[in-house]
Amino acid sequence: MSTINGSEPISFEILKSSGTTAARLGKLVTAHSVVDTPVFMPVGTLACVKALTPKDLEELGAKIILNNAYHLMLRPGDEEVKKYGGLQKFMAYGGSILTDSGGFQVFSLEGLRKINDEGVTFQSHLDGSYHTLTPESLVKVQENLGSDIAMVLDECPSGGAQRDVVAKAMERTTAWAKRCVAARSRPESAWFGIVQGGTYEDLRREHAETISELPFHGYAIGGVSVGESPEDIARIVRHTAPLLPEGRPRYLMGVGTPADLVRGVAAGVDMFDCVMPTRNARNGQLFTREGKINIKNARHKEEQIPLDEGCGCYTCTTFTRAYLRHLFVNRELTFYRLASIHNLNFYLELMADIRAALMNDSFDENQFLIRAGAS
């Protein structure tokens, strides 16, 4: 049921399981790249990881990134992207592309939409025009974009949502997931279902079971990192990940901090994405093995040392903290690139180290929490 015309858009193989945790070492193969998992996927909403070029991504070892169907549908338009030959050609990126449907925008652009069983009516944040998004229309959009992996449209309630609101969102997400499956027509795109359920463990279990019964190529945990506490994130992920199909990739959407990634891996998650490394980079917050630092702090003014002594990225091997602070304080555009390179390298290197540890059976959650700079 998960294939169209008998061809598999992606393959996923578990190479090794951790003896002491639920962590898995795996290999995800798409038409565009071989992705070692657990993996962190940089977010490039508008067919661009902000401040970086595809060459930067290649040098960082990012084999798969995220784009956003809702944003690209509005501008430049998915039909336009299709004319260019799909996202990879449009943005000249050689790796794999996973597109989020716009489900998150149902949450983040709450003031601009109305939701019912049919779909979501959005008022464009760009020009105020109205758009009706349905599970079917977003299948079309993502197929036009040429996604390697596409996400179903889901309803993502906020972290503090009441139980009945979460239950209703689950119900809708299930119905929409079925409609997405039925609407698929492009064999090259893989589809991931999304589990909701908020912070309620019984609802998470119920929805995980429901979504797992549908024929998807991968399964995502959604509705996380939308306002809950770090403890709730860890608890829900630990509870939900093992409920997803063993042999398919598990994707924790929108998470998270370096520590969240370590805990997610230990819970059995294979894929992560988050705006944190890139957005926080642009806002001057940089991740190091000693914890995060705010480069604009006065104490960095005269520090003639690298951002992170143990880091081998271009930024750390070339520039001092004092210089980076100077660039940030003066809003020099180069800062955004250098900071994004470093933060992304921090995330990707953390994941690479985790994979190496899984490979030689030495993955230790607590040890990696320290490595992640968690205080």
Partner RNA sequence: GGAGGGAUGCCCGAGUGGUUAAAGGGAGCAGACUGUAACUCUGCCGCGAUUUCGCUACGAAGGUUCGAAUCCUUCUCCCUCCA
Q: Which residues are catalytic?
A: 100, 273
Q: How far is the CB of 302 from RNA (least distance, A)?
A: 11
Q: 312 in helix, strand or coil? A: coil
Selected range binding RNA among 1-9, 15-23, 205-213, 216-224, rule: CB under 7 A: 216-224
| CB-neighbour burial class of residue 348 (10 A; exposed 0-12, middle 13-18, buried 19+) | buried
Q: How far is the CB of 278 from RNA (least distance, A)?
A: 3
Binding mask 2-41 for RNA (x = CB under 7 A): ----------------------------------------
Query: In the set 47, 62, 276, 354, which binds RNA (CB under 7 A)?
Result: 276
Query: In the set 138, 167, 255, 271, which binds RNA (CB under 7 A)?
Result: 255
Of 151, 162, 187, nearest to 10 (Cα)? 187
Complex with RNA: residue 19 or 111, whichever CB lies closer: 111
| CB-based contact 252:151 (threshold 8 Å) | no
The rounded radius of gyration (Å) of the Cα atoms in the chain is 20
If one asks whether residue 322 binds RNA (CB under 7 A), the answer comes out as no
Looking at the chain, the number of H-run helices and the number of E-run strands are 15, 16
- CA 95 – CA 90 distance, rounded (Å): 13
Instruction: Classify the phi-psi angles of 44: left when phi > 0, otherwise alpha if psi is within -120 to 50, otherwise beta.
Output: beta
If one asks whether residue 81 binds RNA (CB under 7 A), the answer comes out as no
* Chain CA centroid to CA 12, Å: 18
How many chain residues bind RNA (CB under 7 A)? Answer: 58
Binding mask 132-161 for RNA (x = CB under 7 A): -------------------x--x-x-----
Which amino acid is located at 42 in the chain? P
Q: How far is the CB of 19 from RNA (least distance, A)?
A: 27
Verify cis geometry, omega within 30 degrees of 0, for the bond prior to 9.
no
Where along the sequence are the contacts to RNA (CB under 7 A)? Answer: 43-45, 49-50, 66, 68, 71, 100-101, 103-105, 107-109, 111-112, 125, 151, 154, 156, 194, 220, 222-226, 230, 233, 253-257, 260, 273-276, 278-280, 282-285, 294, 296-299, 301, 329, 331, 333, 336
